[in-house]
Structure 1
Amino acid sequence: MSTDDTTHRQGGTVTAVAAGGRGTTPRQVGLIWALLVLNTLGSTGAVTVVPIPRLVTQVLTMGALVLAFGLALLINTRLRVRPSAYLLLLTLMVLVSVIASANLESGFGALFRCARFAMFVGTLWLLTRWWDGTLTFVRHHIRVLAVVLLTVGLGALISPGLAFPDSYGGRLVGALWPLTAPQVGQYAAITAGLTLLLWLARRTDGRSAALIALPAIGMLLLSHTRTAAVGLVAALLAGGLSLTLTSARARKVFTWGVAVAGVAAVAAGPAVQAWFQRGQTEENFTNLTGRAKVWDALLAAPRTTSEYVFGVGLTDKSFDGLPIDSSWLAVYHEQGYLGVAILVAFLLTLVVVAALRPPSVSRSCAIFLIVYCLTTSYTEAGLGDASPYLLHLAVACALLARPATSEVVRA
């Protein structure tokens, strides 16, 4: 992939966008982003080829965050940050989490999660100096997620039995690092979607796009992650529609692609239905693989006034030992109605800002990420704590940011 061009020609002048006042993004930013992704990979999941104790994965992921924060301080020693409503609201979410966790209702682990959340948001604040509306962070995101998917592919080649375990219904999981099938599906969907948008906008060549997007789509299908599949389709439709305003290739591909996809969906209807059902009974399918039962129990549980307002503090996103699997209900449980209000505020802010930006490839990629996170938030948790979803939205913020400074030179 070629480096994003940050030079715009306007009326006989060349406007050079100088991110952070220096015109280039330090190479360390890519390393910091990789460390943030590593921190959000999680420490539980499938059985790996080489057994990794959970303590080791926790040390590695938390150490990655500490290192990322330290590197961010080193390259931004003057603590220059840019205004960000998204991060300001996330900072309020951290504050609510601390208040809710202070009574230790969820144990000392809640305070540890708060410290991690605060350091995560602090690192993003330090990186805002280089949020300039270019595709820099999109490329960082694709590269890092592609490496994660590469480990999944290598694990499948080395040990197919562990990569497609019966305990997960034969779904693709991480055999080198303990990634669950939903995680594999999420990373594959984001990687494929962003890569396809860059190809439609002629920001990458067809060979590079095929080498990344096609294997990613294959892994998504092998992971049998319905949430990620629906999120990818919805986000690509939204991002693609935005891109048709500025790209002739996007208009052509979108017109023919939607028609072909519609015909293919009808022709392959039984196969698509079988893929979505994953061999489950009708009852299990309709109650979202047991999620509805957990949600009903969570909503019916008695709460104090404080718990209604602030929640019970940060947990491992479970209720009575079962995963909540919903960002909205997880935030309600952990940060209360105040957390839900903050969640609505920062998502609505992102939607409004994206709608007001002029059409561009950056805007289209931002819309893709926002729509994907909105779509998957119903059955996936992660919008109220340090997670890949908050990193996706941080990339969207970087895409929607205006250039920090501009130097106009006569052509």
Structure 2
Amino acid sequence: MGADRTSKLVGTAWGLLVLNTLGSAGAQTLVPLPRSLIQMVTMGALAAAFTLALVANPRLRVRPSVFLLLLSLLLVPSVIASATLESGWGALFRCGRLALFVATLWLLSRWWDGGPGFVRHHVRMYFAVLGTVAAGALLSPGAAFPDLYGGRLVGALWPLTPPQIGQYAAVVVGLTVLLLLGRQADRRSAAVIIVPSLVLLALTHTRTATFGLLIGLVLAIGSLVLTSAAARRFFVWTVVCAGVAAVGFGSALQAWFLRGQSQEHFTSLTGRAKVWDALLAAPRTTFEHLFGMGLGDKSFGGLPIDNSWLAVYHEQGVTGVTLVAAMVLVLGGAALLRPPSLARACAIFLISYCAIASYTEAGLGDASPYLLHLAVAASLLAAPAPTRDRPALQAPEADPRGGVPPRARGTEVS
């Protein structure tokens, strides 16, 4: 199979995985879409992604990955708890979905070589999703800024909530900024992506995504400061601009940050703390404590949990929490041990963003965008494949100083 065709198959499969994780619940769309139809599309996308990955990798060659091993082990408590049917037959269906999701990642791991290929696939697909959000806002501002969400931007063509849009925009902006600093993108192309994505992020009024973007970029760029003059300049200008904005637009930033909420509503994290307290206070058997209640819709008492760790504890128990924590720690440790590079910076951004967002968003224990973010980080931290075994998707990047390509120097594994 030709390299170009294989590259297209891999990129398409990744895009379908992104489509699968968009979800089927959210705002009312301009053209009403039955939830059953949306679920058919998302599940069909997952089946198609697995099929394309299998076509691209018919010999089932995979790259060893501690991240994928731990993610596969997460299926064990999921299936054990779901088999009790305490959460209904839907729990077993979700287990099947997670198994197919993980199997697809294993097949695609053949092309995890520390290069920026999957970063580009990630940015392109999520920017395309943001394009549908922008189109919906232009076609029907009333549907895109409904009173139900306090006038925050939602998906008018596909049911996306403000936190989802904020997450996608933040990840797209962060990765594009890093690609620009690493000279993997030109300024014009980067501006076309960054500027509208920042506008959409601001219109969602999503605090978690904004904090994740800022802190993630500080950590990622900080890892490049000692080796990149461009990173140093960007860091200095960012600090200066942030100071000017804080002085000149302090009141406007405060109003955006509070979103018109009372102090009590804000300190309770928009009501999340009450759900968390109730979940932790609920009685559980030893089995439920160890393995959870089975995969569900990440809610408790009819209200969203909105915390990855508590959602995993509720559905997959202490065993699931341990495995998810191990995934994040393994990736974080691999990133810290890797020499400074663009791949390391992108991985640090994605890992730190997921860690920050996990406090107010659920998703680390099931097929979700957060697991895709971590999978991209794992692809960036993977050891380069030996030349004789490397799939010919793209040529190795040349070192501007000459000699061995930058990503051929490390031996870190995820």
- Residue 264 of structure 2 is aligned to residue 278 of structure 1: no
Q: Does the Cα contact within 8 Å between 2:6 and 2:56 map onto a contact in 1?
A: no
1:9-408 aligned within 5 A:
26-406=7-387
Q: Which residue of 2 aligns with 1:11?
A: none
Distance (Å, rounded) in 1 between the aligned partners of 2:190 and 2:162: 23
Q: How far does residue 200 in structure 1 lie from its aligned partner after superposition?
A: 1.4
Counterpart residue identity of residue 32, structure 2: P
Instruction: Identify the residue that residue 8 of structure 1 maps to in structure 2.
Output: none
The alignment covers a number of residue pairs equal to 391
Aligned-residue Cα RMSD (Å) equals: 1.8
Deviation track 1:262-283 (CA, whole Å, cap 9, x = no partner) reads: 2322332221111111001111
Q: Distance in 1 between matches of 2:373 and 2:305?
A: 21
Give the match's secondary structure for 1:71: helix
The 2-side partners of 1:62 and 1:192 are apart by 28
* C-alpha separation in 1, matches of 2:5 and 2:66: 24
Matched AA of 2:231: A
Opposite residue 195 of structure 1, the aligned amino acid is: T
Distance 1:300 1:117 in 2: 28
- Aligned residue in 2 for 1:6: none
Which residue does 1:5 correspond to in 2?
none
Question: Please, which moves more after superposition, 211-220 or 24-33?
Answer: 24-33
Could you tell me how far apart the structure 2 residues matched to 1:357 and 1:190 are?
22
Q: Which amino acid aligns with 2:267?
A: T
CA distance in 1, matches of 2:297, 2:336: 34
SS for the counterpart of 2:223 is helix
CA distance, structure 2, for counterparts of residue 140 and residue 223 of structure 1: 24
C-alpha deviation, 1:255, in angstroms:
1.6
CA distance in 2 between partners of 1:379 and 1:267 (Å): 30
CA drift of 1:234 comes to: 0.6
Amino acid at match of 1:137: F
Aligned-pair CA distance for 1:406 = 2.1
The SS at the match of 2:387 is strand
What's the secondary structure of 1:243's corresponding residue? coil
Cα deviation, residue 321, structure 1:
0.4
Larger RCO (alpha carbons 8 Å, 6+ apart): 1
Residues 113-170 of structure 1 show CA distances to partners (whole Å, capped at 9, x for unaligned) of 0000000011000000000000000000000001000000000000000000011000
User: SS of 1:26's equivalent?
Assistant: helix
Residues 241-250 or 361-370, more deviating: 241-250
Check conservation: 1:21, 1:405, Cα contact below 8 A.
Answer: no
Gaps in structure 1 of 5+ consecutive residues: 1-19
Distance across 2 between alignment mates of 1:294 and 1:92: 28
1:173 is displaced (CA, Å) by 0.4
**1 CA distance for matches of 2:4 and 2:290?**
45
Displacement of 1:182: 0.4
Q: Shift in Å at residue 108 of structure 1?
A: 0.3
| Alignment-mate amino acid for residue 155 of structure 2 | G
SS of equivalent to 1:88: helix
Q: Identity over aligned residues, as a percent?
A: 65
CA displacement 1:8-30 (0-9 Å, x = unmatched):
xxxxxxxxxxxx99799621001
Q: Is the 8 A contact 2:27 2:160 kept in 1?
A: yes
Distance (Å, rounded) in 2 between the aligned partners of 1:319 and 1:269: 37
Q: 1:74 to 1:23 in 2, by over 3 A?
A: closer
Once the two structures are superposed, what CA deviation does each residue of 1:165-184 show, in whole Å capped at 9, x if it has no partner? 01100000000000001000
Q: Give distance in 2, aligned partners of 1:290 and 1:350.
A: 32
For normalisation by structure 2, the TM-score amounts to 0.92
Counterpart contact for 1:25–1:130, Cα < 8 Å: no
Identify unmatched segments of 5+ residues in structure 2. Answer: 389-395, 397-402, 405-414
Distance, in Å, in 2 between the alignment partners of 1:285 and 1:121 is 37
Moved more, 36-45 or 258-267: 258-267
Question: 1:406 corresponds to which letter in structure 2?
Answer: T
